[in-house]
């Protein structure tokens, strides 16, 4: 019942609401009725969907295609007797599965965080008495009493409101507490933030008091709606995961085809020097070829490279919750950012003040009439300052105190001189607040409030410290200044005073708030973070578009967006759209025109998700930032969700892929740079691995076709073990290439083999294979020994060449097109050590007695080593020449 009615509850009269909910505002529900409703509607708490068990999560990790390929590779290794290799591969698979389960577990914490935010208790009328009950026992129809400091325990329609203000930033994105009313609202389709006669679960009462009737509990609340969206929103696959899956499938199909061809051809041609069972021999040959081609170390290398990127990002105050998100940052094309607390400081600040017919920047020292204005800001103020210096109260009022502190004014002395002896609290009807202070033989009455309301009660104004009559021209000028400040999205307050000889007998607006002297205006705003404008500009230079998506008002959103450069001077009102206007567009129309909009104002959580999905439908990689509960569904839907670490709620952090430890928007741009570096380094590892594997496949294929002695599975596995691990991992530690943030984003359709990488892998793999085959041919054509020894020497030379050529080629893969002398040969110390260690491990199998017998290789003399080393090194100048030609061709284009 309440779930359906609460959406339009703000349009119903209070008595109609009570009648619909069958409750009584004076007496509340009876205990019996409350128990019946509790049985009907359930506990007032968020429900999580049924979660899969840890074992089910673990088993699901093995459904990925690349993981299946790895398991097959492990079985192949075991079949060839390489138990250690099989164990290593399976260990990688299990570790990946464990990590995946951990990430799923962390993602489930978002709902748990929502549940923790709920109010523990509530003051409720039951059986004509006010009782304190656990909040989860509330039911629709309960009458709840509210006062400053309370957490709203459920969604409710307000019945009474006495200067009531509720902070809803986490839910609506509204930067300041909302003034609440109890009157009926008649407009259709009001945004959540404009439903001022409603109070929402988990928001906070900052001022005043109120009375409300519960209209929705648990999953039937607005927060419950967000929880449901979090449960049903599917996590988007990252570009990295899509690319790896695509690459794994393509490689596997290709490998199987080649292995079958080799097996069939080999069955009709007996390999020279082999006399065993032909079927077994060729089966082992096909298995060797498959082992050579499968990049079984790739997932581990990708994981390690991502982990290294994560470590670097931590140093830059970006905490990654999911490893693949590191790379996703590098392909980001759209950043949809929340305004409050992300682009702005979520802290109201005085920006300008107006006195003596002059508009002045807040940083300007106060003198003359400005000094009197500063006194009024502090005296007409309910802010409490703790012993630790923390300011407690309405953000607007704390901003006025902060202004005084920045002006180095002695507030303690001011309060001691002018203690408050009377007041008329603010209320939303007259929009004024008044305080009374003794001043020698007189009393000072200070008044602040909405400019239009206050000016109607003034008869004089302060000019140069003197009171002068207020004329119509003065009023018009002040109204013009007020409009100018409002257009800049500043929240404007007017201040006035008067002196009386005696304490007012009655603190009423009619007696006290009349015949005032106008002193000035103060313009406040939640200011943009100082570093954001530069970060937005840098993102634009990197081909990344920044959007503002906020629950705040349109005029405020537009002003901040223009100040940050999100909206250019050329963009007009057509680039800004509100949630209500968005509701008028069907999905097809919105998706077709989504590129038109840069600012979204007054939006609800479902709007944010819709915006993200519209850009994703355009094949764009979307990052979404936010800090509130209302941002969580969009953070989960986006390709990468970015939550604020300081101001962010635990809900937003739980739904995000990355958390900014410093809440600094500029950190996102730094993270994008790191993400791009991670992708290029993964590309380098892939280029190195696949070109090496192609060289191995070509070598085995031609040897089989030619009827030569072929490299055994033990040779291929050992080469893969020493060359596919340390050097490939070390490539993931390469420093950032210059100009990486001047490139356009790769986008969703890019893959690891794009930008010329696929062609480079092919020609480099062919070179490796041809050089290795050439060395084998040279060894048997110009042998040092005769007979079977000649074939053994040639096979050893091919084995050594195939391993060393991959290590030399690793230097080539430091860049696809740039010379190794440009990117730096020895900058990466880990890389240099990995090449040295792998080279020694390869040489040991040939040089150390006993090991060479295990690997079925012979000792080589100096002449043979010269051929091996010279041929292996040849890959470096050959690739350098090709790169030079490529650079010259690209330069001409």
Measure the CA–CA gap between 278 and 258, rounded to whole angstroms.
18
Cβ neighbours of residue 651 under 8 Å, at least 6 residues apart?
110, 113, 114, 117, 226, 629, 632
Which residues form the catalytic set? 338
Q: How many other CB atoms are there within 10 angstroms of residue 651's CB atom? A: 32
Measure the CA–CA gap between 486 and 478, rounded to whole angstroms.
12
| Burial tier of 874 (Cβ tally within 10 Å: 0-12, 13-18, 19+) | middle
Cβ proximity of 665 and 529 under 8 Å: yes
What 3-state DSSP class applies to 470?
Answer: coil
Residue 179's DSSP bridge partners are 165
Q: How many other CB atoms are there within 10 angstroms of residue 419's CB atom? A: 10
Q: Which has the closest alpha carbon to 353: 176, 467, 485?
A: 485
Q: How many CA atoms lie within 13 A of 844 on its CB side?
A: 9
Using the 8-state DSSP alphabet, how is residue 358 labeled?
E
Q: Which has the closest alpha carbon to 493: 573, 576, 373?
A: 373
- Strands of 640-644's sheet in order across: 318-320, 658-660, 640-644, 622-626, 334-337, 545-549, 599-601, 576-578
Q: Where are the beta strands (DSSP E) in 440-550?
A: 442-449, 458-463, 466-469, 491-500, 516-525, 545-549
What 3-state DSSP class applies to 57?
Answer: helix
Q: Which has the closest alpha carbon to 461: 361, 353, 369?
A: 369
Helices (H), 813-850: 820-823, 829-847
Q: How many other CB atoms are there within 10 angstroms of residue 241's CB atom? A: 16
Measure the CA–CA gap between 549 and 756, rounded to whole angstroms.
37
φ, ψ dihedrals at 774, nearest 5°? -65, -40
Q: Which residues of 654-664 are buried (b: 16+ CB within 10 A; e: fewer)?
A: bbbbbbbeebb
Residue 600's DSSP bridge partners are 549, 577
Helices (H), 117-220: 169-172
Measure the CA–CA gap between 196 and 198, rounded to whole angstroms.
5
Q: What is the 3-state secondary structure (H, E, C) of 78-115?
A: HHCCCHHHHHHHHHHHHHHHHHHHHHHHHHHHHHHHHH
């Amino acid at each position: 019942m309440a779930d359906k009615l609460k959406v339009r509850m703000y349009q119903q009269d209070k008595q109609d609401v009570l009648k619909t909910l069958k409750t009584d505002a004076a007496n509340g529900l009876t205990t019996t009725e409350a128990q019946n409703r509790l049985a009907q509607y359930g506990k007032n708490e968020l429900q999580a969907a049924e979660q899969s068990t840890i074992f089910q999560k673990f088993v699901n990790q093995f459904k990925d295609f690349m993981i299946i390929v790895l398991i097959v590779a492990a079985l192949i290794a075991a079949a060839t007797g390489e138990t250690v290799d099989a164990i290593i591969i399976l260990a990688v698979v299990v570790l990946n599965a464990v990590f995946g389960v951990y990430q799923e577990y962390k993602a489930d914490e978002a709902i748990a965080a929502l549940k923790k935010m709920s109010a523990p208790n509530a003051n409720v009328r039951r059986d004509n008495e006010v009782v304190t009950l656990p909040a989860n026992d509330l039911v629709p129809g309960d009458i709840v009493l509210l006062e400053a400091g309370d957490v709203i325990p459920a969604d409710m329609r307000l019945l009474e409101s006495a200067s009531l203000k509720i902070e809803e930033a986490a839910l609506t994105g509204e930067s300041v507490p909302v003034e609440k009313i109890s009157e009926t609202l008649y407009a259709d389709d009001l945004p959540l933030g404009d439903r001022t006669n409603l109070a929402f679960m988990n928001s906070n009462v900052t001022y005043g008091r109120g009375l409300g009737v519960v209209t929705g509990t648990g999953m039937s609340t607005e927060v419950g709606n967000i929880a449901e969206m979090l449960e049903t929103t599917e996590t988007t696959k990252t570009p990295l995961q899509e690319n790896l899956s695509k690459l794994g499938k393509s490689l596997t199909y290709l490998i199987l085809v080649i292995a079958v061809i080799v097996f069939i051809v080999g069955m009709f041609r007996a390999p020279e020097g082999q006399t065993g069972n032909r079927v077994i021999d060729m089966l082992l040959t096909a298995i060797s070829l498959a082992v050579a081609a499968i990049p079984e170390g790739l997932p581990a290398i990708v994981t390690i490279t991502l982990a290294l990127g994560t470590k670097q990002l931590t140093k830059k105050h970006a905490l990654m919750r999911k490893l693949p998100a590191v790379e996703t940052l590098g392909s980001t094309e759209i950043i949809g950012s929340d305004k409050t607390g992300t682009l702005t400081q979520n802290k109201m600040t005085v920006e300008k003040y107006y006195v003596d017919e002059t508009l002045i920047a807040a940083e300007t020292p106060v003198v003359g009439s400005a000094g009197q204005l500063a006194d009024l800001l502090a005296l007409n103020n309910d802010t409490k300052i703790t012993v630790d210096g923390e300011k407690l109260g309405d953000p607007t009022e704390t901003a006025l105190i902060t202004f005084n502190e920045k002006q180095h004014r002695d507030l303690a002395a001011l309060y001691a001189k002018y203690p408050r002896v009377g007041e008329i609290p603010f209320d939303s009807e007259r929009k004024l607040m008044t305080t009374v202070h003794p001043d020698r033989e007189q009393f000072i009455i200070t008044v602040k409030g909405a400019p239009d309301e206050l000016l109607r009660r003034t008869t004089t104004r302060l000019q140069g410290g003197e009171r002068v009559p207020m004329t119509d021209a003065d009023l018009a000028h002040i109204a013009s200044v007020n409009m100018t400040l409002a257009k800049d999205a500043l929240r404007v307050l007017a201040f006035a005073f008067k002196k009386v000889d005696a304490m007012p007998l009655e603190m009423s607006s009619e007696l006290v708030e009349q015949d005032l002297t106008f002193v000035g205006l103060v313009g406040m705003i939640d200011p943009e973070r100082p570093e954001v404008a530069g970060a937005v500009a840098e993102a634009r230079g990197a081909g990344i578009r920044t959007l503002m998506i906020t629950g705040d008002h349109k005029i405020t959103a537009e002003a901040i967006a223009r100040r940050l450069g999100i909206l250019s001077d050329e963009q007009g009102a057509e680039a800004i759209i509100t949630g209500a206007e968005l509701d008028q567009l069907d999905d097809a129309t919105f998706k077709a025109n989504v590129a038109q909009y840069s600012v979204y104002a007054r939006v609800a959580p479902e709007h944010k998700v819709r915006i993200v999905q519209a850009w994703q439908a355009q094949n764009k990689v979307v990052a979404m930032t936010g800090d509130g509960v209302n941002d969580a569904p969009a953070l989960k839907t986006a390709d990468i969700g970015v939550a604020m670490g300081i101001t962010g709620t635990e809900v937003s952090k739980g739904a995000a892929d990355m958390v900014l430890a410093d809440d600094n928007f500029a950190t996102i741009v730094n993270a994008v740079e790191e993400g791009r570096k991670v992708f290029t380094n993964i590309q380098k590892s892939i280029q190195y691995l696949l070109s090496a594997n192609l060289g191995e496949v070509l070598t085995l294929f031609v040897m089989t076709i030619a009827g030569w002695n072929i490299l055994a599975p033990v040779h291929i596995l050992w080469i893969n073990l020493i060359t596919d691990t340390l050097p490939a991992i070390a490539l993931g530690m390469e420093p950032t290439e210059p100009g990486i943030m001047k490139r356009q984003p790769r986008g969703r359709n890019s893959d690891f083999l794009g930008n010329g990488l696929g062609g480079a892998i092919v020609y480099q793999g062919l070179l490796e294979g041809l050089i290795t085959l050439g060395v084998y041919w040279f060894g048997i054509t110009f042998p040092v020994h005769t007979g079977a020894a000649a074939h053994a020497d040639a096979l050893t030379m091919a084995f050594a060449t195939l391993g060393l050529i991959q290590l030399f080629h690793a230097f080539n893969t430091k860049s696809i097109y740039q010379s190794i002398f440009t990117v730096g040969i020895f900058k990466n110390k880990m890389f240099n050590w990995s090449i040295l260690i792998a080279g020694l491990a390869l040489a040991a199998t040939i040089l150390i007695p006993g090991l060479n017998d295990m690997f079925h290789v012979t000792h080589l003399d100096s002449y043979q080593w010269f051929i091996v080393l010279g041929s292996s090194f040849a890959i470096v100048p050959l690739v350098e020449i090709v790169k030079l030609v490529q650079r010259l061709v690209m330069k001409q284009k």
